[in-house]
A and B are shown apart, each in its own frame.
Chain A
């Protein structure tokens, strides 16, 4: 038996076997997480720091395009924010609408597959595959397909014009509508899958019990099904909102005009077309922090521990 005084000041009364067992567990734990954590530290945490540093770089007088030196130019943030705050707000706005739409469309899908088709595993399996398989057909290809389906010469636009829902000179593409529809479409599986996973565990006997206790179907939906699937909805909304806010493929392919530009597009063009690294970095950082703030508020308000 060893008796040592541990750091906390409490007397450490563990035996050598206990200490050894604990050390072994600790060591195995470290071995298991260390390689992955190293990768995350080197290629996620460190890059974010580098990005932060880069956002403060300054352009020396008379420098060539793309030449910057380390500095501490907070003004970079003022410059990009004053120029691009509309795009930033629009990104969040579009992402929010797309998330709500995806939830409204996705919940019935998840419910259909997870609960209604529980007794039909084959059909359930096929629909589940249909949710995942689109990933493999390339989302840019699908977005491009939407562009062509919704094109001015396309069947849908023509039909809408024929019944005069769409004015003769109206467009479906190059509109905020098209961009939001594209975002909704592309991130729908991210909404459905977590909800599906949650509803899959829903015990339908609970609903029967509720019905037995005189709850109307509406009532038992809002009192049981919805609260029980809350963690799934929570995860789904985050998994939809976050990538949607940063996306620029949809706005580039389906929008591509001044009133659909999203912040991702701006960051991309700052980086690659304008070669304004500090500006692009500052915008990226602003985007990251605003999302973290929004997500934190959201988690505080509605969060379950389950996600973390």
Chain B
């Protein structure tokens, strides 16, 4: 677990509450869905939980909401232990993956449901205001079945938000929407969160969504949090091969540390010398995995002349994407390295060309030597 390396969480706002999970484990019979999870989400944070299907994201949310009891560990909200509190007594609301709108109630009644349970005397007025916030006031009397997917999603959001929960849980609320609506809803969600200052826990398996919206992103894999931190930090400095591959793309190469100087590790990768800042490495001796993001690599027909961080190989695939041209280069002894260059009028390399790939030492990152290099690669 490398979580201890990462998080420097941003400044907090009011009105939400801190959420803390301590040593949470969830077992379904023999199967362990969530393993020894520790998490501290300061109040007012937009926190994204990112991970592949089946990694335990929903299970984690369900435990926070009180819909599932943890097998081990405790949960506290605003400093108060809620582990044994039933769902209906927790200051938490959920926007369900499938919305779970009550089909027999009108949109307005749906939104007013929570307020009425709390015996709020202004339930209806607040519900109406909530609908106005999501710009659906004109559809208040419809049944959920008469709304489009995007509208239903906004009703679900309003239904949760009007209660001003200390923590709002969103379980892939945008999963069913098309790309355009998705982007629009992402903006709206972010705006609302900034306005009301609640703690949002947003589950998604869309990495772009997580990175653009969240203050903090946690990458989850097989019931564990692999790494968490601000999006940029996660991207620039992944601490495991899974994160390196799942969040964007990475070129990973196995090598052996051969020396240290001036805060840099010198790594021998199949006969090439690669330099790597010591403070960007998980492990500083023995066998390591060196990584570099594709966009950090320069592809050139001529050598840079530098003694370090340069590889050469043969282009085996070229694809034109509009703004960039992507290359796959076969480097003898290392394997395939992916990179791309902006299309600025230069003559692109062609399949079969010999090219040089080089990058600045500061962009390299180092992972533990026993990592599986294809962990987290999407098929």
Contact = CB atoms under 8 A, between A and B. Distances in A.
Q: Do A and B come from one complex?
A: yes
Interface in A2-32: 13-18, 20-21
A1 interface: yes
Contacts of B27: 13-14
Interface of B: 27, 69-72, 83-84
B1 to A, nearest CB: 21
A168 to B, nearest CB: 65
Given A13-B27, A20-B69, A20-B84, 9 more contacts: A14-B71, A15-B69, A15-B72, A16-B84, A17-B70, A17-B84, A18-B69, A18-B71, A21-B69
B367 to A, nearest CB: 33
A28 B70 CA distance: 21
17 contacts: A1-B72, A13-B27, A13-B71, A13-B72, A14-B27, A14-B71, A15-B69, A15-B71, A15-B72, A16-B84, A17-B69, A17-B70, A17-B84, A18-B69, A18-B71, A20-B69, A20-B84
A21 B86 CA distance: 9
Contacts of A18: 69-71
B24 to A, nearest CB: 10
Interface of A: 1, 13-18, 20-21
Nearest to B23: A1
Contacts of A14: 27, 71
A13 B32 CA distance: 11
Closest 6 CB pairs of A and B: A17-B69, A18-B69, A21-B69, A15-B71, A17-B84, A1-B72
Nearest to A16: B84
Contacts of B72: 1, 13, 15
B379 to A, nearest CB: 29
Consensus secondary structure, chain B interface = loop
Nearest to B71: A15
A14 B26 CA distance: 9
Contacts of B84: 16-17, 20
A26 to B, nearest CB: 14
Contacts of B71: 13-15, 18
Nearest to A22: B69
A20 B72 CA distance: 14
Nearest to A18: B69
Give the one of B69, B70, B71, B83 with max A CB within 10 A.
Answer: B69
A18 B84 CA distance: 9
Contacts of B69: 15, 17-18, 20-21
Contacts of B70: 15, 17-18
B30 to A, nearest CB: 8
A187 B72 CA distance: 57
Nearest to B85: A17
Contacts of A16: 84
B363 to A, nearest CB: 45
A112 B83 CA distance: 56
A93 B151 CA distance: 59
Nearest to B32: A13
Nearest to A17: B69
Give the one of A14, A16, A17, A20 with max B CB within 10 A.
Answer: A17
B83 to A, nearest CB: 6
A199 B16 CA distance: 51
A14 B72 CA distance: 8
A21 B71 CA distance: 11
A102 to B, nearest CB: 36
Contacts of A1: 72
A207 to B, nearest CB: 25
B237 to A, nearest CB: 36
A17 B27 CA distance: 13
A167 to B, nearest CB: 63
Nearest to A14: B71
A117 to B, nearest CB: 23
Nearest to B67: A21
A14 B32 CA distance: 12
A17 B69 CA distance: 6
B143 to A, nearest CB: 18
B220 to A, nearest CB: 21
B71 to A, nearest CB: 5
Contacts of B83: 17
B85 to A, nearest CB: 10
A18 B59 CA distance: 14
A15 to B, nearest CB: 5
Contacts of A13: 27, 71-72
A283 B309 CA distance: 93
A20 B84 CA distance: 9
A14 B71 CA distance: 5
Contacts of A15: 69-72
Contacts of A20: 69, 84
Give the one of A1, A13, A14, A15 with max B CB within 10 A.
Answer: A15
A13 B31 CA distance: 12
A230 B275 CA distance: 69
A167 B335 CA distance: 95
A21 B66 CA distance: 11
A18 B72 CA distance: 9
B22 to A, nearest CB: 12
A17 B74 CA distance: 10
B90 to A, nearest CB: 13
A1 B72 CA distance: 7
A149 B92 CA distance: 70
A45 to B, nearest CB: 32
A217 to B, nearest CB: 33
A16 B84 CA distance: 9
Contacts of A21: 69
A16 B71 CA distance: 8
A27 to B, nearest CB: 15
A18 B62 CA distance: 13
